Amino acid sequence: MKMVWVWVVGGVLALAIGVLWVLQGSGAMGDNGGMDGESQWTVIGAVVALVGLVLLVAGLRRLRVGDGG
């Protein structure tokens, strides 16, 4: 497996987890977990989602240029 795919897959996973944490922290998913309504999870989720987006974009740019690592 080429290294660039680790960036892409890691970015997608971090982005998805970050969005999930933002939704849970903001209470948008109802009362189905321990993170519901806890505002620190909204902030943590936003940071994780941002890191995931950066990894995803960096990986896709490397794929486009042909630097598969």
Q: What is the mean pLDDT of each run of 10 residues along the chain (69 residues)?
A: 86 97 86 74 96 96 75
pLDDT score, position 68: 55
pLDDT score, position 53: 98
Report pTM: 0.83
Burial of 59 (0-12, 13-18, 19+ CB in 10 A): buried
Of 44, 49, 45, 52, which Cα lies nearest the Cα of 11?
52
pLDDT score, position 51: 98
Burial of 18 (0-12, 13-18, 19+ CB in 10 A): buried
